[in-house]
Structure 1
C-alpha cells in the first residue's frame, strides 16, 4: 500500500494510523466523510504512558503473544497496532454518518492505538482470564520445549532450502501428509494437537523428527504430498513488500433499487451509532465473527447462523462459564439460530432471516454460497437493498481454485511473514493471528462503506474482502528492528526501549551505569542484574523512553490503568474502542 497524505486538519499523533484511516476514507468515496472530525491518539482512556508503536506493543501484550513461540517477548517489526487503529477510525467515521442519517447528532469520533491493540488480542485476553488454564499465558516457555518448534514460528524447510508454511485442517489430512513423506506415525500423532491449537495459543511445539522428515525431501515432494493428502503448502516469500492491491475490499453495487432507512430516528448518540441495523452472520473461526463483532460493538443487532448443535468452537477450552472463552470473545451478545444448510428447509430459514436484515456476511469456502443457493444473486430478490459481504481467504488473487485461505498461509505468501521479523531472522509467520483479525476489521469497514453508498444511491451491493487483501494494508518496507528494538531482559522481566536507544546508544549505556562505548552484550548483562522498576527512573532521567513489557495478559486485565478500556466478567474483554460525540 502506498501511504496517502492525511487530509488537512487531521491529527498526526499516530502518523501511520492516521495515514491508514485517510486511505480507507478516500476509498469510501463519500464527500460527507470530511464532515466528521476524527482523532487517533496512542493511549485513549488508558492511563499508561504510550508514545509510539513499540510502547503500545510492549504494554498492551502484543510483544508477549507474538513472542510466545520464541520463548521471549518480541516486537512485530511492522506498525500492526497502528494499522488496526487506522481501520477503527475509518469505521467510526462511516458509522457516525450512518447515525446522522438516522437522526443522531454526531460530529466527532475518537479511538487509539492502545485500544486497537487490545481489540486485536481479544481472544488471547479472554483465554488468559477465563477459569480454565491457558497454556499460552504467563511468561513464555523456552522455544522448542517438548520436541522443538523453531524460534521463528516456521518449522519447515525442505531439502532444497525452501521455507514453507503448512496447513492441514483436520487430523486425517495431517496424518496422510506426513505418511506420504515417510514420517513416523507416533511423531505425527504427537504433533497434531499442538499444530491444531497454534491459532488459539500462538505456540506450536512439534517433534523435531517432523522437521527432520521434510529436510530430507525436496519441495516438489512436499508439494506432491500436500496435493495428494488435501493439505496445503506455500513457500514463505522473502520479499517483505506487499503485492499491489488497489483496495482491501471491493464494492459492487446491485442494479436494482433497495431500501435506505437505517435504524430508528433519534436526536443523540449513545455510543451505538448502528442501533436498529440488523446483520445476519454465518461464519466460523476469527475473520467473519470479528466482522460481526465490530458491527455489534457499533450497535447493530447481529444474528449468528450456526449448525445444529451449535458451533463446535463453543466447547473448546478454556471455558468461560459454559462457553469457550475464545469463542465468547468474538460472539458474545449475538443472537443465535441453528440451521441445517443441507436441507431445503434450512436454506429457506436463512432466506427468511435475510428478508428482514440489512447485511448478510459469511466467510464460507469458495463456491459454497453458490452450491447452497445463497449467493448474492440468490438473496437479492429476498431483500432489495441488502449488503452482501463475503470475507474470503484469497479473493480472486490466486485463481478460481486457491489453496485453503488461512492466516499463516496468507502471511507467508503476502510477504507479511518476512516483514514482521527482524533483519537477522529468516522470514516466518507470526503465530499471533494477524490477518484473521485485520481481515475481519476490513470486512466490517467494507460493509459500512456499502451501507453509506446505499443511503446515497438506494441500491445494495456486494462487498468482497479477503485475508490476503487485508494483509497488504499493513505499511512495510525492507529492513526490520535492530538489537536495541528488542526488549531488554531485566532480572524479573523485560523493558522495551524507545528510539533514543537506537539513535544514541551511549545514553542507554550511561543510564545503566556503564561507559558510553559499552557494547550490546555488556548492556544486556548489566540489565539482568536488577529488576525492571530499578532501571526505569535512570532511563527516564537519561532521556531514554522505556516501557515495561506485559508478560501476562491475566495481569494486564487486573491492572487499574487498563480498566477504562476493559470489561471483566467471565473473562476480560475490550470495550468498544470508539468515543462518539
Structure 2
C-alpha cells in the first residue's frame, strides 16, 4: 500500500479540528477529508516532501543560497485551515438548501495556494504573447535581518522612503547609498530576497542596539529584536467573534437559500473535467465587499470568492497602485491578479464624504465587509463595525490586522516579517545551527488571510442560526500562533537538508532520513553530485528508499504533468499560471 494512503496528515487534521471546534455551534456537520497529495500525481509522504515538490523549499531558501526546508509544518497548517474553510462553507451551503455532504483538500493544495503569487510572477506573459514579461528567478541576495555591534539581530520595517533614508542618515549613511537599499528592501515581499548594499549592513554592525532603537524611534521606523525562543510570545485565539446586537424589526434578512442548479466544472476547479456536473459552490449568492491592500486582506476575499461569493473590491481613484508592479500579466501585475482576479472593482476616495458614503452603501447590501486598514483608521473614517452594523445588523464585519491588541495602542507596522519576529516564528522556521531570521516568503500574510476568511465563514455560520452578523477580529500574530513548534529549535543532520545532484536537488523521504546508514552506503558508491536527480531516485528506489525532487523553477512546476490537475496554465484571460481552487465538494 502506498504511503499516500497510509500516512495521515496529522498536523493538518489537528488544525482543522481545532478551527471547527472554534467555529461551532451552528454549522451542519460536513467532515473534511484530508490527504497529502490530493490531485498532484506524485507520492508525497510527509510535510517535507510537499515543501520540496510544491516550491516552498525553493522560495524559503532563495535568500540563503539554495532550497531549504521550513523547520515547521507550514503547508500542513495551511491545509488544515483550508479543510476547516471547506467544511464550514459546505455547512453554510447545507443550511441554505444545498446538498453538500463532503469536501476534500490536501497538504499539496495548501502549499500551492501559498506559493500562488510567486508562481504567477514566474509564469506571467503578455496578452496573446510569449512569457516575455515573466520574472527571472531571483539570485540569492541575503536576508533583511541586521546585526549590531553588541551582537543583537534586528528586523526593520517602514513603508516610507523618507523615513528609510533618515534612519540610515542617523547611522552615518549618505542618502544616495541608503536609496540603493530601498528598492530591494521593499521588493523582498515579492522576491523573497533582500540584496541590501553591504555598506548598510556594515553601518548597522558599527552601532549598538540602543543606537538603532533610538534612530528607529526618532524616524518612525519600526524595529523588533530577534530572539531564539520559537514559542509564540502570545497565544491568541485564531479570531474573535463579537455578535451584533439583537436584530431589530425591519432589517434586511440574510441572503435567501440558493436554488441548487448544478454547474459544470471549469478551468478553476480542483479537478478539471468539463462534462461532469458538480454541486454549486457553497457561498453562491452571497456578497463580500473588501477594502484591502497587499496580501493578507486580498487573499481573504480571494478565498471567499473561490468558495462562490461575489466579491466587490473598493480601490482608490485610479486603482490600487499594486496593479502596476512588475511583472505584468497582460496589462496588470501578475501578483495582483493572483489575489484579485474575478473581483468587481468600485473606486472610492475614502478621504471624502462621498467616498465613505459609497462604502456604507455597498456594505448595506453585503453579507460581509473585510478590511485590513491600520489600527484606528476605521474609527477615524466612521466606518468601524458599530457604524456599518447599525445599518446592516446581519453584516459580518472583519478586520484583518497585524498584531491585534497584543502590543497595545501603538504597535509597530503590522507586516509579515515583524509578525514572524513577534510570534517566535522567525526562530522556529530555521534550525538551531542557523541564526534566527524571518523567512522572506510571506508566511504570515498568507496564513493571516486564510484565518481571516475562516473567521468570516464562522460568523456567517453563526448567522445562519441567529440571523445576526457581528465583528471578526484576526491578525497575523493570531495566524502564526496556529503553527506548532517545539519548545527548542530543531537540530538537523545533513540528511535533513536537500541533497545536491548533478542537475538539481533531492529531498530524502522519511525512511531514508530515519536510516542514514543506508544512505551513506549509497553515497559511498557514488558521489552525490555526479548523478542526476532521476539516477539518484532510481538508486534509492532499488534500496527501498524514496526521495522527492525539489522544484527550483516555478515556471517548470506549472508545466509538470504531475501538477496538471492542481495548477491551471496561463490563459488569455489571466495571463499566468495559478493553483486551482483547493477544495472538491460533493
Into which bin does the TM-score normalised by the smaller protein fall? Answer: over 0.9
Counting matched residue pairs gives 550
SS of residue paired to 1:280: strand
Separation (CA, whole Å) in 1 of partners of 2:32 and 2:349: 43
Separation (CA, whole Å) in 2 of partners of 1:557 and 1:453: 39
1:348 is aligned to 357
State the shift of 1:133 in Å: 4.6
SS of residue paired to 2:187: helix
Separation (CA, whole Å) in 2 of partners of 1:482 and 1:423: 11
2:9 is aligned to 14
SS of residue paired to 2:564: helix
State the shift of 1:471 in Å: 0.5
TM-score (norm 1): 0.92
Within a 5 Å distance, the mapping from 1:7-46 to structure 2 comes to: 13-30=8-25, 32-33=27-28, 35-46=29-40
Output one character per residue of 1:195-221: Cα deviation in whole Å (capped at 9) or x when no partner: 110000101101111111111111111
1:8 is aligned to none
Q: Which consecutive residues of structure 1, in runs of 5 or more, have no partner in the other structure?
A: 1-10, 515-522
Separation (CA, whole Å) in 2 of partners of 1:126 and 1:133: 11
2:147 is aligned to 157
Which of residues 378, 383, 398 in structure 2 aligns to 1:374?
A: 383
1:577 is aligned to 582
Query: For structure 1, which segment, 384-393 or 165-174, has the greater mean C-alpha deviation from structure 2 after superposition?
Result: 165-174
State the shift of 1:223 in Å: 1.1
Output one character per residue of 1:286-325: Cα deviation in whole Å (capped at 9) or x when no partner: 0000000000000000000000000000000100001000
Separation (CA, whole Å) in 2 of partners of 1:271 and 1:154: 45
Separation (CA, whole Å) in 2 of partners of 1:45 and 1:492: 26
Separation (CA, whole Å) in 1 of partners of 2:320 and 2:255: 32
Within a 5 Å distance, the mapping from 1:232-247 to structure 2 comes to: 232-247=222-237
Separation (CA, whole Å) in 1 of partners of 2:74 and 2:195: 25
Q: Which consecutive residues of structure 2, in runs of 5 or more, have no partner in the other structure?
A: 1-5, 126-131, 263-277
State the shift of 1:502 in Å: 2.9
1:265 is aligned to 259
Runs of 4+ in 1 over 6 A off after TM superposition: none
Separation (CA, whole Å) in 1 of partners of 2:347 and 2:536: 56
Asked if the contact 2:244/2:393 (under 8 Å) is kept, the reply is no
2:192 is aligned to 202
Query: For structure 1, which segment, 257-266 or 300-309, has the greater mean C-alpha deviation from structure 2 after superposition?
Result: 257-266
Asked if the contact 2:39/2:565 (under 8 Å) is kept, the reply is yes
1:475 is aligned to 484
Query: For structure 1, which segment, 323-332 or 453-462, has the greater mean C-alpha deviation from structure 2 after superposition?
Result: 453-462
SS of residue paired to 2:565: helix
State the shift of 1:134 in Å: 5.0
1:5 is aligned to none
2:513 is aligned to 502
Query: For structure 1, which segment, 262-271 or 113-122, has the greater mean C-alpha deviation from structure 2 after superposition?
Result: 262-271
RMSD, matched Cα:
1.6
1:534 is aligned to 535
Within a 5 Å distance, the mapping from 1:111-510 to structure 2 comes to: 111-131=105-125, 132-133=132-133, 135=135, 137=137, 141=139, 143-144=140-141, 149=142, 153-257=143-247, 259-262=253-256, 264-266=258-260, 270-477=279-486, 478-480=488-490, 481-510=492-521
Asked if the contact 2:255/2:367 (under 8 Å) is kept, the reply is no
State the shift of 1:492 in Å: 0.9
Separation (CA, whole Å) in 2 of partners of 1:94 and 1:114: 20
State the shift of 1:229 in Å: 1.2
State the shift of 1:500 in Å: 2.5
Separation (CA, whole Å) in 1 of partners of 2:240 and 2:463: 15
State the shift of 1:271 in Å: 4.9
Separation (CA, whole Å) in 2 of partners of 1:204 and 1:154: 6
Asked if the contact 1:297/1:576 (under 8 Å) is kept, the reply is yes
State the shift of 1:264 in Å: 2.2
SS of residue paired to 1:417: helix
State the shift of 1:226 in Å: 1.0
Asked if the contact 1:263/1:277 (under 8 Å) is kept, the reply is no
TM-score (norm 2): 0.91
Separation (CA, whole Å) in 2 of partners of 1:374 and 1:192: 33
Separation (CA, whole Å) in 1 of partners of 2:24 and 2:400: 21
State the shift of 1:136 in Å: 5.6
1:548 is aligned to 549
Query: For structure 1, which segment, 59-68 or 214-223, has the greater mean C-alpha deviation from structure 2 after superposition?
Result: 214-223
Asked if the contact 2:233/2:422 (under 8 Å) is kept, the reply is no
Separation (CA, whole Å) in 2 of partners of 1:485 and 1:412: 24
Separation (CA, whole Å) in 2 of partners of 1:31 and 1:95: 12
CA 1:271–1:120 in structure 2 vs 1: closer, same or farther (change >3 Å)?
farther
Separation (CA, whole Å) in 1 of partners of 2:427 and 2:348: 41
CA 1:554–1:271 in structure 2 vs 1: closer, same or farther (change >3 Å)?
farther
State the shift of 1:499 in Å: 2.2
Asked if the contact 1:566/1:573 (under 8 Å) is kept, the reply is yes
Output one character per residue of 1:341-373: Cα deviation in whole Å (capped at 9) or x when no partner: 111111111111111100000000000000000
